[in-house]
Amino acid sequence: MTTAAPDIVVPVRQGAVNEQLRYALRSWAAHLPHRRVWVVGYKPPWLHDVEHIETSQTGTKYANTTRAVRAACEHRDVSEEFLLANDDMFAMHPVAGGMPVLHRGPVRKVEAYYATRGNGSYLRGLRETRDLLAGLGHHDPLSYELHVPLPVTKTGMLHALEVGRHLPVLHKRTAYGVLAGIGGAEIEDVKILHRAPRGFSKGSAWLSTMPDAFDRGAVGQFIRRAFPHPGPYEKGRHR
């Protein structure tokens, strides 16, 4: 990545109420160096001073996010190098020296974890993406499906999306990371799935939550207390 601050690209689903996005934006404004924020898909009416690329929301959530990422990569004004984020990724401490490249370890390890939780479309997509990469010579690929921003290039991501265009649930972060050979450091995923987890690290650089955990759990309360004041991306004042 270059030394210039990258844009942040965040696909956003339909729906005016998105408190996770509000607090994610507050955290990025406070802790994550960047140039502009691009909201792709739906733009909640309370947003201020963000760029917007409208995309269709008529497909599955996987198809919608893939469409959003492609639209961002094809937009001439999005920086060539950008941070691909979700609306539930919270930067809890300053990110010094730029966003690092992080991965979740081998796909086989991630597959074993999800195999204990059923056989839904996410797991099928993981396996199909793994097989796709194995067919291209990447026999033990890394997974980049973490709930932290991923530094990507438009050129590299478009290539990954093209290679995996036939997959209904392409794990696009993983496809990009493996095909682009970005390497990185391994961490455990920071996603808090439940309202009352056994515990979460209050010292973690990043946190991510499910909606219920954010709205009603201790982790959501912790995040809201960390960023009590409206940020530059909100109209007016809120709480």
Query: Which whole number is the average pLDDT over 89-116?
Result: 95
**CATH classification of the domain holding 204:** 3.90.550
Residue 129 within any structural domain of the chain: yes
Q: Which residue's entry shows tokens 């990025």? A: 28
Task: Reply yes or no on whether the pLDDT at 141 is more than 60.
Answer: yes
Give residue 66's domain range.
7-226
Between β-strands 150-153 and 102-103, what pairing exists: parallel, antiparallel or unpaired?
unpaired
pLDDT tens for 181-220 read 999 999 999 999 888 666 788 899 999 999 999 999 999 9
User: What percentage of the chain carries pLDDT values higher than 90?
Assistant: 87
Structure tokens at 145: 């499906």
Between 42 and 15, whose confidence is greater?
42
Residue 184 tokens read as 């990185």
User: Does some domain include residue 99?
Assistant: yes
Is residue 29 a part of any domain in this protein?
Answer: yes
> Residue 234: inside a domain, yes or no?
no
Q: How many domains does the chain have?
A: 1
Q: Looking at the domain assignment, is residue 231 inside a domain?
A: no
Q: Is residue 238 part of a domain?
A: no
Query: Residue 237 — very low, low, confident or very high, per pLDDT cuts 50/70/90?
Result: low
Sign (positive/negative) of CA torsion 78, 98, 183, 108?
negative
Establish if 69 belongs to a structural domain.
yes
Is residue 138 in some structural domain?
yes
Say what the pLDDT of residue 8 is: 98
